[in-house]
Structure 1
Amino acid sequence: MMSNWDPAKISVNYLPPATEFRPVDRRKYTWTQSKTTEESFLSIGYQYDYNAIHMKYRDEVLAEWIPQMGQYVLSGKLFISDNTFDEKYARIRFMIFEREVKMALAAMINGDRTFFANYPWLLDSPIYIHFQSNFEEYNKMIYFETPRQYLNETIQAVET
């Protein structure tokens, strides 16, 4: 899954007053990646890091911890298309993001390992990503396992 992903290539930025320990409710992640170096950039805060988003490419992944029916859910979203995109381009973006979102989630989970060490019960929380599109076939919510899966896969990849 993440064979070419390098956990060492994550730059983590906490947006004050957020820290490695708080908030839990509505803790927000903004993940972006450099087009040239493939380095991942992760901002963690009470708000999304809109300064990190490149409005031309719109290839960021946003996620936040939401209390829902007695448990926490990591609820994410990514932009596929709006009315400025044709259906062919939306389909290409959807196929790329469907494959690559796991790398972004791995970066989020691994970049915030101290947080998970302090809140281990979140490791088994579900992750749902909303692919946002004006085309119905690409506008969907997809389940992406739990944070524990991403930590375990990263540990296995580093050991091999």
Structure 2
Amino acid sequence: MSNFIPEKLSVQYRTGITITEPVIPRRYTLTHSDLTGDLFLNIGIDYAWDKINPMRDEVLGEWKQRGNSLFYCVYLSIDQGQYNQNISAKRNEIFRRELPLALTAIRYGDRFFFNAYPHLDQAPLIINFMSAYPQFAKQENWGTFQSITS
């Protein structure tokens, strides 16, 4: 896994979102530059579809509620819009290796929100690996932001 460098992260709050409100809907679009290693986090009521490129290597996340409990749901497009099992296998490997960095960037990028709602550090992280191939299409509990970033 790469090391998180805060100076490489750019955060943009989109219309309808402040540093602490709302909790729901609050959606995250994390993209990056392969050339510079810079990370770009957009936080909005909707995903930043305009920031997503054909590589489909973004990390999408949102807060969801079940009963009185909140959890953070992540969506990863393993197949990149193509259907090649070897490419999907490699992308699955890369997403799994780099996801802790991505989650750390999301947590750091929205740190004022987490400071306002510290209990969210203990909310479950539910990761959805989306793929046409059953061996890659999985939903997994990855712990909490606290367990990933500590």
Q: What TM-score bracket applies, with the shorter chain setting the length?
A: over 0.9
Runs of 4+ in 1 over 6 A off after TM superposition: none
Asked whether the 8 Å contact 1:110–1:151 carries over to 2, the reply is no
> What are the equivalent positions in structure 2 for 1:1-160 lying under 5 Å apart?
2=2, 4-55=3-54, 57-81=55-79, 84-152=82-150
Could you tell me which runs of 5 or more consecutive residues in structure 2 were left unpaired when the two chains were aligned.
none
Q: Report the CA distance shift for 1:95/1:73 in structure 2 as closer, same or farther (over 3 A).
A: same
Q: CA deviation at 1:81?
A: 1.1
Q: CA deviation at 1:23?
A: 1.1
Query: Whole-Å Cα distance in 1 between the matches of residues 146 and 77 of structure 2?
Result: 25
Query: Whole-Å Cα distance in 2 between the matches of residues 143 and 37 of structure 1?
Result: 31
Query: Whole-Å Cα distance in 1 between the matches of residues 6 and 148 of structure 2?
Result: 11
Matched residue type, 2:28 = Y
State how many pairs are aligned.
150
Higher helix share: 1
Q: CA RMSD in A?
A: 1.4
TM-score (norm. length: structure 2): 0.94
Asked whether the 8 Å contact 1:28–1:47 carries over to 2, the reply is yes
Query: Whole-Å Cα distance in 1 between the matches of residues 80 and 73 of structure 2?
Result: 21
Could you tell me which runs of 5 or more consecutive residues in structure 1 were left unpaired when the two chains were aligned.
153-160
Q: CA deviation at 1:17?
A: 1.4
CA deviations 1:17-59 (Å, max 9, x no partner) are 101011101210000011111011000010000111012x110
TM-score (norm. length: structure 1): 0.88
Q: CA deviation at 1:149?
A: 2.6
Query: Whole-Å Cα distance in 2 between the matches of residues 136 and 52 of structure 1?
Result: 28
Q: Report the CA distance shift for 1:138/1:75 in structure 2 as closer, same or farther (over 3 A).
A: same
Higher strand share: 2
Please give the secondary structure, in 1, of the residue aligned with 2:82.
Answer: coil
Asked whether the 8 Å contact 2:56–2:81 carries over to 1, the reply is no
